[in-house]
Amino acid sequence: MTKLTLGSHPFLLGFDQLERLVERTAKSGNEGYPPYNIEAVGENAFRITLAVAGFAEDDLSITLEDRQLVIRGRQSEEDNGRVFLHRGIAARQFQRSFVLADGVEVAGATMEHGLLHVDLRRAEPDRIIRSIQIKRGGK
């Protein structure tokens, strides 16, 4: 018995990229740090919020790499001679990745009260109906 995958199903032509996308998403880190929320803020708008307490704007970077939104954080190693009796606030580096669908764009990012907000919007697709001409005998 042959196992059909998403990219090889006869009715789903050209979806092999989707299968690779699912595999890439599954391989991305499932680590729980930093915690995040994803919310719908409109019909075609989303917001990703990461809890990044202790990080400054300069410690964070947001890049878009081949439809993958990558958020990285790295704090400077400056302790200024401080001696911690207890250190419960995480100061480790992180990387969070989110795969964006075609037509989803990053609208902007803001930092507020230790939360990093990344706003996304989906562009309205053009609804085009096109008629395909049938030619005779390979001409």
Taking only the tens place, the pLDDT of each residue in 87-100 is: 887 678 999 999 89
Element (H, E) at 88: none
Residue 73 lies in a domain: yes
Residue 66 lies in a domain: yes
Sheet holding 45-51, edge to edge: 36-42, 45-51, 115-122, 104-112
Band of pLDDT at residue 59, cut at 50, 70 and 90: very high
Domain CATH code at residue 87: 2.60.40.790
Identify which of 83, 89, 88 has the alpha carbon closest to the alpha carbon of residue 114.
Answer: 89
- Domain count for the chain, please give it: 1
What pLDDT score does 106 carry?
A: 95
For residue 135, the number of C-alpha atoms closer than 13 Å in the C-beta half-sphere is: 3
- pTM for this structure? 0.71
Residue range of the domain that includes 62: 36-122
